Amino acid sequence: MIKLRCIAVDDEPLALALVCNFIEQTPFLELAGRYSSAIEALKSLHSMEIQLIFMDIQMPDFNGMELAKVLARDRSTQAPKIIFTTAYNHFALESYRVDALDYLLKPFNYEEFLHAAGKAKDYVERSINNAADIESNSIFIKVEYKWVNVLLSDILYIEGVKDYVKIYLSTKSSLLSLNSLKNMEDKLPARQFMRLNRSCIVSLSKITAVTKTAVQINDIVIPVGENYRESFSQFIKNWIV
């Protein structure tokens, strides 16, 4: 089960204690810290990995909305989400401008708290699933001094060239990367790619024809090496109807 690391921020001791108690009652939340000021909370965020903040707005010196604006400038997926806990309803509109997940109006009960916390859980789960989808559909390849995100569906085949690999794409272009074919084989999903010989990996979905000893991708013929024929034969049995 997913567990969200969170902190509570409120200058009122009783309100802070209530939120912390609610956090500790909730199985998918983990209380990582409690703070009586937004300044203390901001300092802690530099050294802690936090996914969710329950925070009051009206606090002395540096209020919760100001802290939220600081965090809103961080566009990374690692920036914690915020649920405001306040006695004032006139901040509601401003809370959405800083992309707060929810706005709990004091006094609130555990059921209301749990509903807001559930929104955070759903948000993080969607983020994780989206990241997994991106990861499964693409791969980062180092080309010269930068990392290039390449869609797996664009790869036709990969050829080992001494200390490099050459990646041939469906766009009729290619990428040259200082890499090994073995490393590429380990990184690519086995259900989508197959090593056919010592110097070539092919995308299974791009194969246009096969023989017992070779595959064809458009007009390119790629031979199957002797050490790879057994796994290739098994693939042929599953592929041909």
What is the per-residue pLDDT for 215?
92
Write down the H helix ranges in the chain. Answer: 13-25, 38-45, 64-72, 92-97, 110-137, 181-187, 229-239
Give Cβ neighbours of residue 127 (< 8 Å, ≥ 6 apart). 77
- Residues 150-186 have pLDDT tens digits of 999 999 999 999 889 999 999 889 999 999 999 898 8
Largest CA distance in the chain: 77
- Where along the chain do its domains lie? 4-136, 144-239
DSSP 99-152: T-SEEEESS--HHHHHHHHHHHHHHHHHHHHHHHHHHHHEEEEEETTEEEEEEG
In the predicted model, what is the mean pLDDT of the chain? 88
The confidence band for 118, taking pLDDT boundaries of 50, 70 and 90, is: very high
pTM of model > 0.75:
no
The domain over range 4-136 is classified in CATH as 3.30.565.10: no
**Matching fold, domains 4-136 and 144-239:** no
What is the per-residue pLDDT for 241?
52
199 touches 159 (CB < 8 A)? yes
Work out the average pLDDT over 21-35: 96
Q: So what's the architecture of 144-239 in CATH?
A: Beta Barrel (2.40)
Out of 1-5, 149-153, 193-197, 200-204, least confident range: 1-5
% of the chain beyond a pLDDT of 70:
91
The confidence band for 238, taking pLDDT boundaries of 50, 70 and 90, is: low
Work out the average pLDDT over 5-24: 96
105 phi and psi angles, rounded to 5 deg: -95, 120
Is the pLDDT assigned to residue 35 strictly greater than 70? yes
What is the per-residue pLDDT for 19?
97
Would strands 52-55 and 29-35 be described as parallel, antiparallel, or unpaired?
Answer: unpaired
- Residues 125-145 have pLDDT tens digits of 877 666 555 556 888 898 988
Q: What interhelical angle do 38-45 and 64-72 show, nearest 10?
A: 30
Query: How many angstroms separate the CA atoms of 203 and 206, rounded?
Result: 5
Tokens of 84: 């405001």
- Residues 38-78 have pLDDT tens digits of 999 998 888 888 999 999 999 988 889 999 988 877 655 46
